Amino acid sequence: MIKNFDTRAVLLFAAMFAALATVGFAQSWPLALAIVNLCLISAIMSLGVNIQWGYAGLFNVGVMGFAALGGVAGVLVSVPPVTEAWQAGGSGIGVSLMLAIGTIIVVILAARHVPPGNTRRLVLAAIIVAGIFLIRAFFDPAVELIEAVEPAKTGYLGGLGLPIVLSWVVGGILAAGVAWIIGKIALGLRSDYLAIATLGISEIIVAMLKNEDWLTRGVKNVSGLPRPVPYEVNLQQSIWFQDWAETLGVGVVEFSSIYVKLCYAGLFTIVLLIVLWLSQRSLNSPWGRMMRAIRDNEVAASAMGKNITGRHLQVFILGSAVVGIAGAMLTTLDGQFTPASYQPLRFTFIIWVMVIVGGSGNNWGAVLGGFVIWFCWIEAEPVGLWLMDVLTSGMDEGNGLRKHLLNSAAHMRLMTMGFILLLVLRFSPRGLIPEK
Amino acid sequence: MDGPLNSFLLLSNFVLVPGMAYGSQLAIGALGVTLVYGILRFSNFAHGDTMAFGTMAVILVTWLLQSWGVSISPLPTALLALPFGIIATIALLLLTDRWVYRFFRREKAAPVVFLIASVGVMFVMNGLVRFIIGPNDQRFADGERFIIKAREFKRLTGMSEGVTFKTSQGLTILTAVIVVAALFWFLNRTRAGKSMRAYSDNEDLALLSGINPERVVMITWILAAALATIAGTLYGLDKSFKPFTYFQLLLPIFASAIVGGLGNPLGAIAGGFIIAFSEVTVTYAYKKFLAYNLPPDWAPESLMQLLSTDYKFAVSFVILVLVLLIRPTGIFKGKAT
Amino acid sequence: MTGGYGGADILHDCTIGVEQGEIAVIVGPNGAGKSTAMKAVFGMLSIHQGTVQLDGEDITRLNPQDRVARGMGFVPQSQNVFTSMTVEENLEMGAFIRRDDISDTMNQVFDLFPILKEKRRQPAGELSGGQRQQVAVGRALMTQPKVLMLDEPTAGVSPIVMDELFDRIIEVARSGIAILMVEQNARQALNIADKGYVLVQGRNRYTDTGAALLDNPEVRKAFLGG
């Protein structure tokens, strides 16, 4: 039985790579590799969601937020610090940070010492409002100063100037921290609440990244992030590379693009394999068995004295951290951080489709789902466009409906994803590679 | 002398009136979510996009009517198109139920499966709306735009602060009153409405009493469709219609429903106004307000705004979190624990 | 009847019957299949052998809702009222399948349970345990059933309330309704029973009139505590 499943998985993966190779031959190899790189990142995100959903049945609708946290880590770690900005507003930001911590401490103390009731509510509200105004008294001028430092080029604090690969770890940690807070609040209540809370936090995280220009440059984006791999231009100018390209009989420009993408693919594959290996280990460990026992029968597990909320918190944090890592990797690959690109449909719901289609609870399934769905997502647009073109070919060139349909073809993708999710959920809820 | 009065007018103009209108919109939206939760026992993530679909249908019919020269000026034509939009949305939701949710009901699937299915439905509806009308802003308000303009108000009263009262705001508040009254009449006075409450209260006993669950579910979707279309149209008239904004409304609407107690209609209304007023008061800049009430040299220089409007969703979220921490069943006791 | 949940049978060739105007009581130790027998009669679980008949008509294949329509009323042991709805609405919901005028039946229920008339506008969830049971019985009576089935109607109520409830149940029976009930308080229940069934491990152990069972020394020793 198990052997059957394995053959099935192997066949499916083989088919997937064949499809990618087809793109390579039919369209171009750089394109195929670009798809592969995003497939790898998708697969990691999908593994993270699978840890939450597949292992424990937690419904996280805020994948986008955790991915965005990973993305901002890319900026905060890799960009060199903007010294003038630090000089201008660093101290103000520092003071407001201290004040924020102070306010929280005072609130906690007040909550402990003032007897409950309306007085306490009033006192707490007053402390919070006063705290906010006090913080803003330092924060606002500092922000203004920072954002005034060469706004066209910087206008933000910059980062630490460390290798960007480090941000993958930092992104994971940031995401884990936020997941801890959300989990503390929403776990242990019914499943809808976690879904709504994660939806909310992800919207807020993205709103912050868009608006806190002093930290992230907001919608002005941070581009030109340092790379962990060589630059195409440098490669094209090196003699050894030109020779190599010549030996292989490929154009230097194309080969440099392929080479760089392969470097990324190598790095991402390493991360994917590590995450996958750890996921598999944990799934088959006593801990993983306990998680699945809890998922399948909470009442019984609770009766056996298992701390369900505590376990769920662990899983939620781990899964979110993996998503954060993938988010940082994505920013690394893009070489830029664009807060406006974080769309819930692209970053939350597609990942869900990946997990469900791949096979909830099966790590290999999640990986395959990441590949398959990303591939479909990319290829759906040209196919949709082509489809619309064929469908409307009978119409006049200037026909309004034809124009409208051609323009709207892009939105077909959303519908397609929705249909795939609904169809799989109904007709094959165990996915492509079912859980054993 | 006129300071306090002027400052009150200022608040009315920027907090009270917009808050009432927005609260009404949220309340009607949250009623839809809470009804579906009460009967089908899942949080319907597709509700925001149902609102978008309904509004889109209304907009298309409005355009059609406008092209025919039909008008009920000074009222917006959209009001005339509303029934058609509601019918289209009812058809959509009943089809969705037949093709998606009914299967999971028969399977007795876990609530989280319904939740995921509703996400799938959300995708499809979202795509459908964008496919038909595009992802951009659409304005469809016509007729008289204002009941009272600030300038007229100043002229009439001689105050230095004016109050603007938009037609859309007046309509929203009036419609909300009518809708809520009609809904409560339905739930409390009619056989079908009572059977809905009975089913929501105790499913097994409702079955024993011979209440047909499929019928209850059907009525629920019809009500949800009507509420979603009305809420969406009012919001669109008041602000503007953009599919993505309607998806984002999901958070304040859920927050309203949960704050009031999921499954409790009265709570949804209270929740809607709580969220709306919190959002408006927290994001309002109090500089001018304080200037009216404080001695001149105390007047603040900054905007005196607690939170920038970019973070208005954070307000819903914080209230939601507080409710989850302090009283997960909501202010009025809801069904969820 | 033979039947049970899933694979294992809990009932084995168990026979239960009740005539119009009679009270039949099922008693027995814990796990004897009392509630299961009741559910089997009402169609809430499948029976593998045997039949359920109402007025000589075979209703074995009907689902509970259809049995209600045929004249069976059932009062579950717990969660047997709509807590958020008023007493009056509870009764209305009980009569949901009826399309005719229900005010007479409602007045009969109010005559039987005067306290409910007084509290008709109050949510059932705010009533005391005994009053709730009255609402529950009243709700089931609203369909004017031929057979009324009660699953431990006195569970969790005080002895005084219990006596009162039993009095009311006798009154219901007098009005010509057959009553079948499962009871934990065996002695009091058999006191008012025309027929008693003692079930042990899903089988009929003793079947007799209530009085005879109370006099039966073996029954007394084994099930009534001497």
Q: Could B308 and A211 be called an inter-chain contact, meaning their C-beta atoms sit closer than 8 Å?
A: yes
Q: Which domain holds residue B292?
A: 3-326
Q: Could A418 and B337 be called an inter-chain contact, meaning their C-beta atoms sit closer than 8 Å?
A: no
Write down the pLDDT at residue B141: 84
Distance of CA A409 to the CA centre of its chain: 26
Average pLDDT, chain C: 84
CA angle B93-B97-B102, nearest 5°? 170
Chain C CB contacts of B186 under 8 Å are none
Give A107-125 pLDDT, tens digit per residue: 999 888 888 888 888 888 8
The answer as to whether B202 is a domain residue is yes
Residue B211: closest CA among chain C residues belongs to which residue?
C96
ipTM: 0.87
Give C81-98 pLDDT, tens digit per residue: 999 999 999 999 998 888
Chains in touch with B (≥3 Cβ pairs < 8 A): A, C
Give A178-187 pLDDT, tens digit per residue: 999 999 888 8
Splitting chain A (436 residues) into consecutive groups of 10 residues, what average pLDDT does each group show?
Answer: 67 93 89 94 95 90 94 92 88 92 92 84 88 88 87 85 92 95 86 87 90 87 89 89 88 90 95 94 89 83 81 93 96 92 87 91 92 89 79 75 76 84 90 85
Q: What is the mean pLDDT of residues B188-193?
A: 92
Residue A332 · residue A75 · CB < 8 Å: no
Residue A323 · residue A179 · CB < 8 Å: no
Give the C-alpha separation, C71 to C144, whole Å. Answer: 7
* Distance to chain B for A179, nearest Cα, Å: 14
Write down the pLDDT at residue B336: 45
Give the C-alpha separation, C172 to B236, whole Å. Answer: 59
B197 touches chain C (CB under 8 A): yes
Chains in touch with C (≥3 Cβ pairs < 8 A): B
Judging contact as 3 or more Cβ pairs under 8 Å, the answer for A and B is yes
CATH fold for domain A2-81+158-427: ABC transporter involved in vitamin B12 uptake, BtuC (1.10.3470)
Write down the pLDDT at residue C69: 85
B311 touches chain A (CB under 8 A): yes
Whether the bond between B74 and the residue before it is cis, its omega within 30 degrees of 0, is yes
Is C8 a residue whose pLDDT tops 60? Answer: no
Q: Could B317 and A411 be called an inter-chain contact, meaning their C-beta atoms sit closer than 8 Å?
A: no
Chain B CB contacts of A210 under 8 Å are 310
Is C208 a residue whose pLDDT tops 60? Answer: yes
Residue B197: closest CA among chain C residues belongs to which residue?
C85
Question: Which of C79, C83, C96 faces B209 most closely, judged by CB atoms?
Answer: C96
Write down the pLDDT at residue C226: 54
CATH number, domain containing residue B81 = 1.10.3470
Looking only at the bridges linking them, the beta strands covering B146-148 and B165-166 are antiparallel
Give A380-410 pLDDT, tens digit per residue: 777 777 887 887 777 777 777 777 777 777 7
Q: How confident is the model at residue C183 (pLDDT cuts 50, 70, 90)?
A: confident
Give the C-alpha separation, B117 to A351, whole Å. Answer: 15
The answer as to whether B333 is a domain residue is no
Q: How confident is the model at residue C203 (pLDDT cuts 50, 70, 90)?
A: confident
Give C131-174 pLDDT, tens digit per residue: 999 999 999 999 888 889 998 888 878 888 888 888 888 988 88
Looking only at the bridges linking them, the beta strands covering C72-75 and C2-3 are unpaired
Chain C CB contacts of B211 under 8 Å are 93, 96
Write down the pLDDT at residue C3: 47
* Distance to chain B for C97, nearest Cα, Å: 6
| DSSP H or E segment with residue A280 | helix A252-283
**Among A192, A199, A377, A407, the residue to mutate for chain B (most B Cβ within 10 A):** A192
Is B259 a residue whose pLDDT tops 70? Answer: yes
Give B84-138 pLDDT, tens digit per residue: 999 999 999 999 999 999 999 998 888 889 999 998 999 899 989 998 998 889 8
Residues of C with a Cβ under 8 Å from any B Cβ are 64-65, 68-69, 74, 76, 79-85, 89, 92-94, 96-97, 139, 143
All domains of chain C in start order, with CATH: 1-71+146-226 (3.40.50.300), 82-144 (no CATH)
Q: Mapped to the 3 state alphabet, what secondary structure does chain B carry?
A: CCHHHHHHHHHHHHHHHHHHHHHHHHHHHHHHHHHHHHHHCCCCCCHHHHHHHHHHHHHHHHHHHHHHCCCECCECCHHHHHHHHHHHHHHHHHHHHHHHHHHHHHHCCCHHHHHHHHHHHHHHHHHHHHHHHCCCCECCCCCCCEEECHHHHHHHHCCCCCCCEEHHHHHHHHHHHHHHHHHHHHHHHCHHHHHHHHHHHCHHHHHHCCCCHHHHHHHHHHHHHHHHHHHHHHHHHHCCECHHHHHHCHHHHHHHHHHHCCCCHHHHHHHHHHHHHHHHHHHCECHHHHHHHCCHHHCCCCCCECCCHHHHHHHHHHHHHHHHHHCCCCCCCCCCC
* Distance to chain A for B202, nearest Cα, Å: 19
- Number of domain units in chain B: 1
Task: Lowest mean pLDDT of B128-132, B329-333, C180-184, name the range.
Answer: B329-333
Six-digit token string for A182: 């959300």
